[in-house]
Amino acid sequence: MRPEVQHTFPEVVMQSFEQRAKELLQSLEGLPTVPDVMLKVNREIGSPSATARSLAAIIRNDPSLVAAVLRAANSPIYRGRYAETTSIQNAVARLGFKEVGRIVTSVSLIRTFEGLGSGIDHKAFWYHSVTTGIATGIFRRYSTRKQEMETIEAESAFVAGLLHDIGILLMDQYFPEELALVKSTASKLHIPLAQAERAALDTDHGRIGAMLLRRWSIPEEVVSAVAWHHDPDLAPPEHRRIAQIVHLADFICVNQAIGDTGEGLYEGFSEGAWHDLGLSVSDVESMLEEVRTEADRSEVIATV
């Protein structure tokens, strides 16, 4: 830790912030809960008997999701040569199950957190987050460690990417003074936010976000990926690859200025993650092009 960082924060701020955060997040009654319709839709998508009709029947019960799916299906990037549709079943068939799952998951979670973090630009936050979630699929596909990649569910990586910075929203809502302090220090010393958080609070927004996900009983691989996305090489061995995927997806989206979660400077990417995933420098341009293309889809999803 740089000496000037260490002496920037009052002793009271540094006293067991992680424990205070854990106790608060465990005791609060008004915290967001896992959206039920999201669980139902993803459960149906995983069923061998799923059809556009069966998915539409679930989505139809939630007017805001109906509007989101129709708007996405009728947007230029998804619509193609098709005529505009007002049928949710036709929209599901047009988009495909995978894309419907992404849209429902993203919109459900964005809606769940819309009341948190008044100091955050939500549009920019979710544009970055949705693109990071989608970019995890690009890194999985380009990885030469195919056997290892098969052990990581695409949906788990997407959700981890989508929620990787959720701790920033929680801190802005419940610990605004501490967040303001670390942001100010990060700006003054030209250091990344996560570094300032660890110096001041002995934790970072990744681990704060992971606390809520554990309360939700989210699978541990997703929790670990969120908790360690700034230090992926320190993640538990059984969840290290998914943490490395989320880390690199986050890094490339920051590098390409896709959205903004309020982090400012990034710490740089983990060479260990790049090596462990078996990625090639010769694929960088292709990967960047795919991320930029997916960013257009993300913008549609993040604003529906």
pLDDT the model gives residue 132: 97
Is the pTM higher than 0.85? The answer reads yes
E strand or H helix at 31: none
Fold of the domain built from segment(s) 11-32+113-302: Hypothetical protein af1432 (1.10.3210)
d(C-alpha 196, C-alpha 274), whole Å: 25
Quote the CA–CA distance of 232 and 281 in Å, as a whole number: 20
Structure tokens at 173: 């809502």
pLDDT of residue 163: 97
pLDDT beneath 70: ranges in the chain = 1-15, 304
- Give the total residue count for the chain: 304
pLDDT in tens, 23-72: 888 887 777 888 899 999 999 999 999 999 999 999 999 999 999 999 99
Model confidence over 98-133: pLDDT tens digits? 999 999 999 999 999 988 888 899 999 999 999 999
At residue 9, the pLDDT reads: 52
Residue 117: predicted pLDDT: 83
Cα–Cα distance, 276 to 266 (Å, whole number): 21
Tell me the average pLDDT of the chain.
Answer: 90
Other C-beta atoms lying within 10 Å of the C-beta of residue 165: 26
State residue 71's pLDDT score: 92
Question: 125-140 burial, b if ≥16 CB within 10 A, otherwise e?
Answer: bbbbbbbbbbbbbbbb
Q: Where are the domains of the chain?
A: 11-32+113-302, 34-96
